[in-house]
Every structure is written in C-alpha cells, then in structure tokens.
Amino acid sequence: MNKLERANRVRRQEAGLCRQWSLDDFHQVLRAASVTRAYLVYENGLFRLSHPHLLKPLQSFFELSQDFSSHEGVFIGREEGIDALFFAFVHDTRRGLAQGGLRFAPYTNLAEVLVDGLRLSQGMTRKNALAGLDWGGGKGIMTLPSQFKHPREFQASPERQACFEAYGRFVASLGGVYYTAEDVGTNTQDMAALLTQNRFTTCIPPERGGSGNPSPFTARGVLRAMQAAWLALSGSDNLRGVRVAVQGTGNVGAPLIRALDDLGATVLISELNQASLNEILAERPHLEVISPPDAIFDAEADIFAPCAIGAQVNADTIPRLKVKLVCGAANNILKEPEADAERLRQRSIGFVPDFVCNRMGIVNCADEWQGYLAEDVQLAAERVFPDTLRVFNYAQSRHCTATQAANDLADMAASELHPLMGHRGRRIIDHLIISGWAQGDAKPKTERRFEPIFVPVLDEPPLRLQWEREGFYGGDFPVLAATPYSTAFAPSLADILSSVLLDIKSRALQLHQGVSPRRVLGTEHGGLALQLAVERNSPYTREELGRTEFVSMCRDHYFRNEARVREQLQVSGVGFEPPQWLSPMRDSGSSTVQALYDFLNRSGLVYTQECIAYHSPTSGSVMVASDLKRSKLKVDSRYFYHLVSASGKSADVEIYFLEYLPGVVALGVHPEGAYADWVGQEIQHPIYRHPIPVLASVNLNAEIEWIIPLARKAHERLAREYGLNPQVQLFDAQGLMSAPEFQAFTPQQACENIVERLASRLRQESGQWAVDALYCSRSGVRVIPRYSEQRFVRIEQAVKDLKRAVMENEIRFSSELWKEHVLKILSGLSIWCISRQYWWGNAIPNSEDVFSTWFSMAAWVLQGAGWPDNPKPEAIDEVFVDQELLFRWVVPSLLVGMIVTGQPVFKHIYVHGTLHVQERHLLPSGQGSEQASDEERFQFKRVKRPMKYRLGNIVEPATLVRRFGADALRLGFVLSLESSAPDVVMLSEERLRLARKVLYELNSKLSGFYQLVKASDLPVELLPLDCYLLQKIPDLEKCVSEAYQANQFGLIGKELITASRELVKYINTVIELRRTKSLASALYVVQVVLSAYHQLFSPLCPFLFQKLFSWSRERAVQTSAVFSESDPLYSWEEALLLEREIP
C-alpha cells in the first residue's frame, strides 16, 4: 500500500464518522469539548480548522465529497438550552456576501446536513450570479429538535421562537458574511424572530419592511423562461394552443396556471392535495385534470412544468415523457443533474434548469436590502427571458446540455468581483478567525499599543499619486516590456505577474544604477476569447445582432476591461506613463498593425492559399495549433465497407465516421501488404460510384484504407502527390454537411442516410474504441476540418535568421531550458497563418476577416520598440513573459523583428512559469458502486491547476491587495517563483500569509520602537549588538544587488524575510537589555539599517519601505558614530553575551 492509499484509507475512515454520527451524537461531541462555535475554512487547496481534533472527520468528508466545490467556509454553532445545531455554509463570496435561505428540516445523520448544505449553497451561488445579483451563495441549516419528526409538529410557540432567536444570534456573530432568508420549514414569522437578533435577515413580513410572498413573481419568472425556451425550440414565444402539463397547484403552480390559461395555452394539471386542486378548479373549471397524478408523465403535451417536489424528472420518468420542453418552479427538478440532462437531450427534450427560472424568490428577498420596490422585482422577472435564451444559445454553440450551459455561465458570472466591496466575504472570514470567533470572543485578542507607521489601505494611494506626480515611471533607457494583458476577462493574478517583475526590475535599476527605464505595457484585444465572452453575455447570437452592433459590444467590453487592468496594475504598485500605454485597438496601435501588414505585403511575403483549416462551430473561426487539443473520443460503433477488386479479390475497409465517406478521393494500400496487387486498378467511389484510383503508400494506419484528405493531413499530401484534387468540402462553417446529396444534414443524419444507402455493403460492429480527435481548447467542442482561403506570411528566411541569432546568443534567455524550447519551436515552424474568421480584432483590408491576435501583438512589440516612427529601432532590452506565451507571442514577435528590422526585437527574455493554485481532485477508488457513498467511491489528491477563467479559479489582484496589502502580494509572488518546476509558479496561501506576517511584524515593531525611543543629537557609542547588525549590511547589499542583476527575485524575497527578522530580533533584544540605559545607538542603527533596506527592498515592497524610510529620515539622529571595517565582528551569540556584561 503506497502513501496515497494509506492516507486515503485513514481519510475514508474519518469521513465515515459523519455518516455514523447522529445529530445528537455530534451535538454531544461539541458539548463535551465545551465548543459553542467552530469553523472549517478552505482556500487554495488547504483547510483551516478551529478545532482540528474535533473537525478532522468533517474535513475528510469534504475532501472526498463530490458536492464540495471549494466552499470558502462552513460555520457551526450551538447554544446552551437549545436542542438544535446551527450551520452556515458559505460557498463563494467573490460576487458579494453569501445569501441563501435557512432550512429547518429533519436529518438522520451529520452527513445528510453537510451534503444538503454544500449542494444548496453552491446552487445559491449559481442562482444569484445568473440572476445578476451582487450576492454570493450561502445556505443556513438549523437542525430540528430531536423530539420532532417534522417542522410542522413544532408549532409556533415561545420554544420555537427561542430556537430562531438563537440562530439569529449565530448569524449576527458571523458579521455579515452570511445573510439568511426563508426556506423549507421556515416562514416569515420565523424570519421576524431572526430579525430581532441581527440585521442580516431577508424575507421578513411586509409590516417589518419586508416583501411578503414572492410566489407571484416566481410564477412570472417561470412563465418568461418557458416562453423563451419555446422560442428557442419552435421559433415563437406564443403559447396559445400549446399544451402545458403543470404538476402542482400550490403557491407557485396556481399563479403559473392562471397566467398560462390567460395566454390561451391548454393547461393540464395534477395535484395530490385535493383541497388545493378544488380551489383552482372552482376558479377555472375548464382546466383538464390528470388522474391519477402520476399519469402526468404520460400526458400528451408540449411542455411539462413540475411545480411541486424535486427529482420528478429522472431515469424512470424521462422515457415516459411525450413533451418537447421541461420547465417548472420545483427545486432540483432532475434527480441526477448531469445524467438526467443528457437523457433529456438524447430524447430531444429541451430543459430549463430550475435555478434559471425559479430565482425570483431570492431576487425578491435581495430587493428588500435596497429598500423594497415591487416594480424592480417585476422588471427582474422579465430578465428571466433573455437569460434563458442565453442558456439555450450557449448550450447549442457548445453542443452541451442546458444544465451544463447554465452551470458554466453561472460559474463564470460568480467569479466576477462585487463592483464596490470586492471580495469582502473573504476579508470578513479572515477577521472572524483573527478575532477569535470560534472561542466566542468577538474582540481582537490583544489591543494595539502603538499606532502603526504604515497602514496599507491609507498609505498606498497617496504614495501611488506621489510617484505619478514625480514622473517616477517615465524614462527612456533601458526599455523593459512585459506580457500584454488579455481584455477578454477581468484581470487575474496570473495576468499581472510579468508586470510585477518588470516593476521590481525597473525600480531596482533606478535605485542602484540611476537610470530611468521606459516601460512597455499594454493590452491585447482578446481575440476569439473576448468575442466568445461577449456572446455568452448576450441573449442573441452575433448573426442576430449584426456585425456592426456586435463589434460595438466587443469594443465596449474591451475598453471596460482595459480600464480594469490599468486600475488593478496601479493598486499592485505597477506604474506606467499613460501616453506610453499600448493598445492594438486605439488609433496608434491599429495603424501600426496596418503598417506592418503593408510592409510585409510590399515585401512580397504575404500570400493567400486554400488549405485545410480547423474551424470551431461555436465561433465559425479557424483554430490554430495553440487553440487545439488532441484527445481520445470514445465511440461505440465502427463500420466495414466490403470491396471487390477487378481481379475478384475482396476486402473490408474500416471507417469510424461515416460522414467522412463522401470525401473519399482514392483507396490506399500498403505496397508490401496483402493488397499490393490492387495498385493501379480503379474501384467505384463508395457513395457516388464514379471511378477512383488505388494508390500505394507506406504512410497508412492499416494495410488498406480510404484516402480522405479532410480526415488526415497525410492523406492530403498523398492526394496532391498523385495529382488528385483533395479539396472536397464536407462541412459548412456551422458544422452541417455540405457534400453533394447531403447538404444541410447534420453529421448524425448523414451517417444514418449512408447506413441505409449502403446496407448491402456495410457491416456495423459494436464495442468500445478510443479514437484520436481534435477539440477547441477554449470551448471544448470538436473542431471541423474545412477548406478555406487563409492569409499567410512567408517566414522561411526569418526562421533561419532567428535560429542563428538564438544559437549565437544574440538573444539571452533566463535559462538554457527556454533557449532549447525556442529552438525546438522554430524547428517545427514552416508557415504562419495570420487571418482569422472572427468579427472582433484588427480588420484585414478588403476582407471580412481579421488579423490573428498574435499578428496584432507582434505589431504591438514593434510599436513598443519605436517602429514605424523609427524604421530600424533598437531592440527592447528585456521582456518578462509567461512560459505559455513564449510560442504564441514572443516567437512571432521575434520573427517579425527579423523581417522588419533585421535583428531580434528582444535582447533578453526572462521566462517565468504559469501561475498555478492547488486544488482538490477526486480519483475513482475502484471500491464502491455508483450507489455507494462518495467516501467509498473516491480517493483524494491535491493537484496543481493553472489560474484560468474557464476553470473558474481566477483571483483578481485587488482582492489580495485589500486582504494582504500590495507589498505582501508582491513578496508572495517572488517567493512563489521558487517552485520546483520551471513552468509552474505555485501561489499558496501560506506564502501570502508569511509575507503579510513578516511585513506586519516589521512595521509594528518599528512603530513601537519609534514611539518608545526619543531622538538624540548626542555622540553615539556603538555597542556589540549594534555592530552585529551593521556588519551584516555590506554582505546583504552585495547579495541583493547581484540578485537584482541576475533576476533572482525569489532570493531577494528570502533575503528580505531574513533581514526583517534580524531587525525585529535586534529591536526586541535591545529594548529588553537597555530598558534603563540610553537607546540612542539603537536609534542610529535602525536609521542606518532602514536606509539600506530602502535601497535594497523598496523595489520589491515599495509602499512599506518608502514610508519607513521617510519616517526614519524625519527623525534622523545627528551623530559622528560610523561603523567601519576595523570595528569588531561578532556573531549574534557573542554580541548578546558582551551586551549583557555591560553594566
């Protein structure tokens, strides 16, 4: 048994306790330990537990649970005299503080509570995000007292009120990270009881300023979703005459039935509660009642609207459905969300996920917090219509289920920061931990004795303004560049790393060499990623919007995100001169792109060619190599076509994808195989029956196979070699068939047609096979091979020249590894396609196409160097770049530089790894069935994942700046550069906390020191501890200066930590030893040390060390004392011993 297996066995055993513990058992565990509050907080792959010995089983349960989705925190509470446990699940607070209802329900064990809370809180994140609310996702659970089996048994009473008041105090103690509301088992009077104890409660009675019953608004939202989905499926949103089967006539079902009936729909209803059924029939007797109620799944209807309990659409009921759409108000309509969504799709039944259409309850509650206005909620209900269209359009373009589409859209929306508060929820959680919340103490453990010299939130803005006014960021030489920022999404930590390193190097050059570098910073236009982002946020396709309107939306998106990039750079301490900011979409940048194209065109290097290009059906655009990923496609059928040669010899030719059969141009055989004697003969085309040749080739996957140029590049080369026309167009840009006799067929329809046509010659075989397939790395859909006209740049000579420059070290790299990587890239580089079929980007003259992003960014580099104003500009001295962009951006820019200026455009290339975070990954354990619990089915593993928007794990810089300070973030960055793998930068919570702790201790210790010690102008005699600290400065200066020159940023960070701790240790010791003596020498030493530290470390942590240096300079000691090399050299132990001997 290996280490991972042993750890997972222990983890599985611990997690199993959560299923064994009843709620009374867990209550007793807490009571026995005298614990009234507890928490589990999660960030960047790691848990923090308030009581590790008690909560380890819960951590293990989360680690092995599919329902755990990086929840920020789970908070647990109890009160003496209350027979209930309190839970608050906080899933994601990036978009806003956590909001979700309080569930008061019976549970048989602790695991059921945890699973329910995890699922529901994530569901609230998605519901709130897709609704456009500035709320995160949360859920509250209060366990039912043990003497009751159902909340209805616990009637309104002082005891019930006491329970809810106690939960209200629990919510109050959380400081606003979680806002509660009405949910299953609770009512508005319960919310009123909560409100007496906190201000973080919604869904309160109207007489208390609340909104009352949201059911009519919920019904309106479901109706608008139904109309939008019907429009997507049928082309009309008119429900007149449409048969709608509504299950449930309760709070939401009844108003939905009335609305449908008023619109002229034929409404069928079913209801278990006879009184509720009689009430709606008394009002509308013409409604058709389905009896028994379960027969509704067999009803002849167009739409099924489940508005009662959840999990009604499942593996048992889906085969019975005769409808075209499922859309209702029930929560958790699908029993198995992913599997049931796929079952519906396979039956061509549309589905509106419940959190898309039934969201108006939470929207109604959220409006209370702004000051309730019913008209706002009415407007929000109408927004369900375009949001439903967005989900259906996204699902269609991504070839996925509506459930997956809604989840993707919601998760991406949830990653956006609150426009005013940022990631405040995480800061509140930090405060709860620091303030001793779990110990029942809402106050800091220790009172601060001294006012700090430096307060990040107060001191960073004026320092930034000061540097800008002083022209600190302006300069001419040397020229430093950093990776351009994508404007497709909000800026992330991964985006700014290159620029932070540039800023550190630039500040070091200014301080140590007295030069003023010019900074080349700016944005790229986002290309396809930006276009897809805009499409995601629109209920209409770009074709429906029209090119002009869509490009205008892209432009707005670009400039909005560009402004956010500039703002977040500044708060991170990265400055720039606004006039020097580069943008390919502004006039100067756009004209440079055009100038580069004209130059290449005049030089005879641009040409057009019909070629095979891989198109994404989601964007209609050609995909380049970096946009493609190869993966295995699982297929369960393959086919054999029976052939007979002119000599009477037969063969069965294998093919997996029949839709490619119309593209056959020849039959290929191996020249030394069993069918070699077929070479030179002709056979009939399998579809069109015209003669095609039999060719010999050793580049085949089998002894005999169809030659289909669109299927394999080797086949295309073979066809051209034999003088055959390979350009058989099989697909259009949308992925439909375009081959003769199959126009407008889907590939599946074409397969079915071919099977029927060739029934006598075609043999089908069933099984399981994995076949190579190409996918779009952005959308995850299979790409389509098509012939299309593309523009290319001839780069053969430039590649040769660049290889020579690299091998002769005209370009220096931060590591030989990256030099070898670039040479490897160049060895496989023969063509450069610069055209794309996007709508957004720099337009190609006299064409509807645009230039590729990286052609535009090659022009960006030239502009940064000074071209075209200077036709032969000097190369940029140094560029800082993420390793992922070495191929996409740096190599094309170097090639263009060789063509245009005759030399490389970069002199030195510093390559850093891609920023990664640690995440949890579940692997099958191979022990449990699908019906088994998660802890039996899975084993836990920590993995590194790149910080990517599509992975939902991005963190905006401003979030961590607000939590840790800009200096701590920068220090955390450079400490993360010390990862073992050169292509990975691991940003961890521990490193950030370490950085914050070290800087905080230095700041607070100096603050106390300066307020304890009074300045003196008397001559100062240096004591042994003074000499010890001062003697270390020269070696430190030498080490750090050399590290800056060599770009050893991680080493600089380590030296800063060591030096800071040395100074803190010195201050602690001299204050203790010299309590009754003069501290004048210590004041002098601190002044000297801070001056040195400012010179050495302010490039890395500019805000803190600038403020400390200014502070110490204002309190400078005038003395004749100077430490010289002739002074004694001491170790710390020697100095300390001598100091103690001084009377």
**Burial letters for 328-347: b for 16+ Cβ neighbours within 10 Å, e otherwise?**
bbbbbbbbebeebbebbbee
Residue after which a domain boundary falls, among 784, 803, 836: 784
**Distance (Å) of CA 943 to CA 12, 45, 278, 922, 1000:** 19, 8, 57, 10, 31
Looking at the annotation, which residues are catalytic?
139
- Please give the residue range of the domain that contains residue 693: 621-784
Q: 319 and 246 in one domain?
A: yes
Determine contact, residues 109/19, Cβ cutoff 8 Å: yes
Distance, in Å, from the CA atom of 930 to the CA atom of 592, rounded to the nearest integer, reads: 59
Q: What CATH number did the domain enclosing 721 receive? A: 3.90.740.10
- Domain contains 78: yes
Fill in the amino acid letter for 994.
Answer: L
Determine contact, residues 856/593, Cβ cutoff 8 Å: yes
Sign of the alpha-carbon dihedral angle for 1017, 1064, 958, 976: positive
Structure tokens at 199: 């201000």
Q: 368 and 230 in one domain?
A: yes
Determine contact, residues 406/392, Cβ cutoff 8 Å: no
Q: 407 and 280 in one domain?
A: yes
- Domain contains 116: yes
Determine contact, residues 718/710, Cβ cutoff 8 Å: no
Q: 198 and 235 in one domain?
A: no
Estimate the share of the chain in helix, then strand, then coil, as percent rounded to the nearest 5. 45, 20, 35
Q: 219 and 176 in one domain?
A: no
Q: Helix crossing, 253-262 with 215-234: angle to 10°? A: 50
pLDDT digits (tens, 9 = 90+) for 411-439: 989 988 888 888 999 999 999 999 999 98
Q: 73 and 201 in one domain?
A: yes
Q: 156 and 11 in one domain?
A: yes
Determine contact, residues 231/374, Cβ cutoff 8 Å: no
Q: 757 and 635 in one domain?
A: yes
The per-residue pLDDT for 1137 is 87
The per-residue pLDDT for 444 is 46
Could you tell me whether strands 243-247 and 303-306 are parallel, antiparallel, or unpaired per DSSP bridges?
parallel
Determine contact, residues 1021/1080, Cβ cutoff 8 Å: no
Q: 296 and 383 in one domain?
A: yes
The reported pTM is 0.86
The per-residue pLDDT for 1015 is 64
The per-residue pLDDT for 1120 is 53
- Domain contains 520: no
Give the CA angle between residues 173, 48, 990 to the nearest 5°. Answer: 120
Distance, in Å, from the CA atom of 502 to the CA atom of 506, rounded to the nearest integer, reads: 6
- The DSSP result for 634-677, as a single string, is EEEEEEEEEEE-TTS-EEEEEES-GGGGGG--EEEE-TTSTTGG
Which of 506, 500, 531 lies closest to 518, judged by CA?
506
CB atoms within 10 A of CB 700: 20
Distance, in Å, from the CA atom of 958 to the CA atom of 724, rounded to the nearest integer, reads: 59
- Domain contains 289: yes
Phi first, then psi: give them for residue 403, nearest 5 degrees. -65, -50
Which of 299, 297, 308 lies closest to 272, judged by CA?
308
Distance, in Å, from the CA atom of 756 to the CA atom of 791, rounded to the nearest integer, reads: 41
Phi first, then psi: give them for residue 927, nearest 5 degrees. -110, -30
Q: Which residue has the tokens 């059969």?
A: 661
The per-residue pLDDT for 447 is 47
Q: What CATH number did the domain enclosing 1109 receive? A: 1.10.730
Chain-centre distance for alpha carbon 868: 38
Residue after which a domain boundary falls, among 177, 208, 239: 208
Distance, in Å, from the CA atom of 453 to the CA atom of 562, rounded to the nearest integer, reads: 34
Distance, in Å, from the CA atom of 607 to the CA atom of 935, rounded to the nearest integer, reads: 59
The per-residue pLDDT for 299 is 94
The per-residue pLDDT for 445 is 47
Distance, in Å, from the CA atom of 300 to the CA atom of 435, rounded to the nearest integer, reads: 61
Which of 1082, 1143, 1077 lies closest to 1115, judged by CA?
1082
Look at the chain and report how many structural domains it folds into: 5
Q: 317 and 190 in one domain?
A: no
Distance, in Å, from the CA atom of 764 to the CA atom of 938, rounded to the nearest integer, reads: 37
Which of 568, 555, 565, 483 lies closest to 521, judged by CA?
483
pLDDT digits (tens, 9 = 90+) for 300-358: 999 999 998 878 999 999 999 999 999 999 888 998 888 899 999 999 999 999 999 99
- Domain contains 517: no
Residue after which a domain boundary falls, among 161, 182, 208: 208
* Ranges of the chain with pLDDT below 50: 442, 444-447
The per-residue pLDDT for 1125 is 59
Distance, in Å, from the CA atom of 464 to the CA atom of 1012, rounded to the nearest integer, reads: 30
Q: 177 and 277 in one domain?
A: no
Could you tell me whether strands 523-524 and 906-912 are parallel, antiparallel, or unpaired per DSSP bridges?
unpaired
Distance, in Å, from the CA atom of 842 to the CA atom of 526, rounded to the nearest integer, reads: 11
Could you tell me whether strands 666-669 and 691-696 are parallel, antiparallel, or unpaired per DSSP bridges?
parallel
- Domain contains 610: no
Structure tokens at 981: 């793998």
Phi first, then psi: give them for residue 953, nearest 5 degrees. -115, 20
Q: What CATH number did the domain enclosing 160 receive? A: 3.40.50.10860
Q: Is 493 exposed, middle or buried (0-12, 13-18, 19+ CB in 10 A)?
A: buried
- Domain contains 186: yes
Structure tokens at 482: 């950093």
- Domain contains 592: no
Q: 248 and 152 in one domain?
A: no
- The DSSP result for 1002-1034, as a single string, is HHHHHHHHHHHPPP--S--PPPHHHHHHHHTHH
**Distance (Å) of CA 246 to CA 154, 236, 263, 297, 326:** 31, 20, 15, 10, 10
Which residues are registered as beta bridge partners of 820?
Answer: none
Q: Is residue 933 classed as helix, strand or coil in its secondary structure?
A: coil
Structure tokens at 297: 């799944």
The per-residue pLDDT for 493 is 92
Q: Which residues contact 545 (CB under 8 A, 6 or more apart)?
A: 538, 553
